[in-house]
Structure 1
Amino acid sequence: MISIEGLNKIFKQNNKQLKAVDNLNLKINQGEIYGIIGYSGAGKSTFVRLINRLEEPSSGKVIIDKQEITALKSNELRLARREIGMIFQHFNLLWSRTVKENIAFPLEIAGVSKDEREKRVQELIDLVGLSGRENAYPSQLSGGQKQRVGIARALANKPKVLLCDEATSALDPETTNSILELLVDINAKMKLTIILITHEMHVIRKICSRVAVMENGKVVEQGDVLNVFQKPQQSVTKKFVEQVMGNDEDNEIINQLITNKTSGKIIRLQFIGETTNQALISEVSRKFNVDLNILQGKITQTKHGAFGTLYVQVNGDKDVIKDACRFIENETSVELEVIENAI
C-alpha cells in the first residue's frame, strides 16, 4: 500500500510561489497499476518525483509499506530508493555502457558481487526481451529497445514499486503497445506496484486499474478506469475520454441530422460489454413498434472490460418512443441521453 497524505510542493520563482503539487491525497493498492493523467503543467511529473524524493516535498507524507519515505534521513533514503524503481521518457541511459553494463550499474552501486550481478542481469535481459543485444550500445538500439533497457535497469534491485514518468511518450504507437504489454507482464510476474504518469488516455485505458486526474497541482477526479470513462465529472476528464472515444469529427453526422431537423429522437447509449448494444437494439425492436437506425458508435477496451457509446435515431409514435426510452432507462444497465428531440 502507498499512502500519499497532504502532499505539497512549492517552487519559488522571482519572489513568487508556484504550487506544483497542492494538498494531494491518494491511496494506491499493493500490486496494482495506477495511472496519473494530466496535461503539461498539471504537476504529475513533480508528484512522481516526490514519491522517491528526487524532489523534496514542502509538506505532507509519502508512506510505502508503513515506511514514511518523507521522514527518512539520507542513508535510510538511499536504501529505501532501491525498492523504488523509475523509468523515464528519454531513457536516461549511460551512452558509454552496453546494455548489460547499463542494467548492472545499480547493482554495482548496491555492492552486489560480480557473479550475482551477471546472473541478475541475464534474468532481466531475458525478461524484457533483449536476448542477443547484451553487448549493444544505446546508440545502436531503437527507442523501444532503449526503454526496455531502462525498465530492466529499474528492476535490477527487485523493487516493490515502479514509477513510470511518461515512459511511452517518445515512442510510436506500435512500440508503445509493446512496452505497455511488457509492463503488464512484469506486474503479473513480479507483483510489484506500478504508478504510470502520462498525458495519453489510451495508455490509461489499456493497462491501468484506477486513475487519478490532475489539474493545477490537484487531483480533481479519481476512480476505477471503467467508471471514469463511463461518467467523467470534470471538464478536463471529459477531454481525456474524448481522446479515446472521439468527439467533434465523429459527431459530424449527428450535428448534420440535428441541423436538418431530423424526425424522431437521437439518443446516446453508453454501455459496458461488447454485446450489450446488439442485445438491447434487438430487444427494443421486438418489444416496441419503433424504427431504430444506428448512426455511429465506438467500443474501447479497458483493463476490466469494454466501454462503448452508440448513437441511435429512433422513429415512430411519440408515446411509443417514450415507452422505449423509459424501458432502456429503467430496465437495463445502459445509460440513455436524448441528444435531439424533433417530434
Structure 2
Amino acid sequence: MISIKELSKVFYTKDQNVRAVDKLDLDIEKGEIYGVIGYSGAGKSTFIRLLNRLEEPSDGSVTIDNENVTQLNKSKLRVARQEIGMIFQHFNLLWSRTVYDNISFPLEIAGVKKEERKKRVNELIDLVGLSGRGESYPSQLSGGQKQRVGIARALANNPKVLLCDEATSALDPETTDSILDLLVDINRKLGLTIVLITHEMHVIRKICHRVAVMEEGRIVESGNVLDVFLYPKQKVTRRFVDQVMGDPDREHSLGLINETYKSGEIVKLHFIGESTNQALISELSRAFTIDVNILHGKITQTQKGAYGTLFVQFVGDKEEIDRAITYIQTTSVQVEVNPDE
C-alpha cells in the first residue's frame, strides 16, 4: 500500500545542515495501523509530513497505492492529497466555522455538490460521535471533541490513508483512549490504512499492528508490536517498552534485584497470549522442591494479544532449579535466566 524507499530530508541552515530523515526504507500494508515512535528530535514529524509532501523530500520516493507521490506536479498532488487524510496534534480547525462547516470545507474545495456534501457531513458527524454538535463552534468543544472534528474532516473525501501526527499528545489519558478506540473502529469499518506517529508507547500498544522505532532520522527497529515488546533489541526501544510495563528505570531495577537477591537464580518469565492465564507459579511450587519468590511483574494488552513479564527468584538446590527451568521451557511461557542489560 505504502512503499518508502531511501527517503531523506535535509534542512539547510547557515550554521549546519540537519538531516532530519536519513535514507529511510519502510513498507506499510493496506488496512493496517502502523505506528512510528520516537523521542523529540527523532525525525518522526518530518517523516509523516513527507508522506503527503507537506515537506518536500531531499531524496528518495514515497509510493501510495502504486502512485509515486514524490514525482507528482502541483496539480496532480492536490488531487492525490484528497486520498490522504491527516489529523494534527493541535487540531488545526477553522475557529470561525461550525463543526459542520469544518467537516464540509474539504468537500467544498473538491467541488462536491451541496446536497452530497450535506449527506456526507452528517454521516461523518455520526461516525465520530458528535451527533447534535454540528452547529457548535470549536471554542465550545472539549479537546477530544475537537480532535473528533479533525478526524471527520480528514475522512471527508474518503481517503485511502489517514496520517496521524501526534493526534493524542494534547489530550488527557481518558480522552486519548476514546480517540484511539475511535481510530480502531474507523480502521475496522472502513478498512483504512492508518499511519500514526507518537512518543507514547501506550498508543502503540493499544491500537497498532506493527511499529517502527525512529532515532536520529533512522528506523533502528521495527516489527509486530508484540514481537517488539517481547524482544526489544535497541536501548531506545527498551525505554519505550518500559513506559508501558511500569519500569521506566529498568537498568537500575535489574541491578537492584540482582544485588538484593544473590542466592538461587533470578528468572524473567514472558507470558504471551493464553499463557497469561497459566497457573505456572503454583505448578512449580508443587512439582519441584524449590522456593519461588515473586519480585516484580505486569501484564498489558496489545492488538496481537496479552503480554506479561514476571521476575521471580528460585531458591533451592541448583539441580532442582535447573529442572524447574527446563520444565518452564516445555510450556508456552518463555524464560530468561539472570536477565541483565
AA of the residue aligned to 2:140:
Q
**For residue 296 of structure 1, what is the aligned residue in structure 2?**
296
Q: Are the counterparts in 1 of residues 220 and 234 from structure 2 also a CA contact under 8 Å? A: yes
Structure 2 gap segments, 5+ residues each: none
Q: Are the counterparts in 2 of residues 274 and 308 from structure 1 also a CA contact under 8 Å? A: no
Deviation of 1:253 after TM superposition, in Å, equals 8.2
| C-alpha distance 123-41 of structure 1, shift in aligned 2 (>3 A) | same
| C-alpha distance 260-149 of structure 1, shift in aligned 2 (>3 A) | closer
Q: Are the counterparts in 1 of residues 268 and 310 from structure 2 also a CA contact under 8 Å? A: yes
AA of the residue aligned to 1:233:
K
Q: How many residues align?
A: 340
AA of the residue aligned to 1:318:
K
Counterpart mapping for 1:24-39 below 5 A: 24-39=24-39
Deviation of 1:249 after TM superposition, in Å, equals 6.5
Q: Are the counterparts in 2 of residues 161 and 194 from structure 1 also a CA contact under 8 Å? A: yes
Q: Are the counterparts in 2 of residues 2 and 62 from structure 1 also a CA contact under 8 Å? A: yes
Deviation of 1:195 after TM superposition, in Å, equals 0.2
Secondary structure of 1:327 counterpart: helix
- Residues 24-64 of structure 1, C-alpha deviations (whole Å, 9 max, x = no match): 00010000000000000101010100000000001111001
Q: Are the counterparts in 1 of residues 36 and 195 from structure 2 also a CA contact under 8 Å? A: yes
AA of the residue aligned to 1:297:
G
**For residue 222 of structure 2, what is the aligned residue in structure 1?**
222
AA of the residue aligned to 1:104:
S
Deviation of 1:99 after TM superposition, in Å, equals 0.3
Secondary structure of 2:278 counterpart: helix
**For residue 101 of structure 1, what is the aligned residue in structure 2?**
101
| C-alpha distance 85-241 of structure 1, shift in aligned 2 (>3 A) | same
| C-alpha distance 76-248 of structure 1, shift in aligned 2 (>3 A) | closer
Secondary structure of 2:151 counterpart: helix
| C-alpha distance 43-260 of structure 1, shift in aligned 2 (>3 A) | closer
Q: Are the counterparts in 1 of residues 8 and 58 from structure 2 also a CA contact under 8 Å? A: yes
Q: What TM-score, normalized by structure 1, do the two folds share?
A: 0.94
| C-alpha distance 154-257 of structure 1, shift in aligned 2 (>3 A) | closer
- Residues 220-246 of structure 1, C-alpha deviations (whole Å, 9 max, x = no match): 000000000000001110100010012
Structure 1 gap segments, 5+ residues each: none
Q: What TM-score, normalized by structure 2, do the two folds share?
A: 0.95
Counterpart mapping for 1:1-343 below 5 A: 1-247=1-247, 258-273=258-273, 275-276=275-276, 278-329=278-329, 331-339=330-338
Q: Are the counterparts in 1 of residues 242 and 248 from structure 2 also a CA contact under 8 Å? A: no
Deviation of 1:256 after TM superposition, in Å, equals 5.6
Q: Are the counterparts in 2 of residues 277 and 310 from structure 1 also a CA contact under 8 Å? A: no
In 2, the alpha carbon distance for the partners of 1:253 and 1:277 equals 25
In 1, the alpha carbon distance for the partners of 2:176 and 2:166 equals 11
In 2, the alpha carbon distance for the partners of 1:325 and 1:9 equals 49
Secondary structure of 1:226 counterpart: helix
In 1, the alpha carbon distance for the partners of 2:58 and 2:205 equals 32
Secondary structure of 1:136 counterpart: coil
| C-alpha distance 8-254 of structure 1, shift in aligned 2 (>3 A) | closer
Q: Percent identity?
A: 67
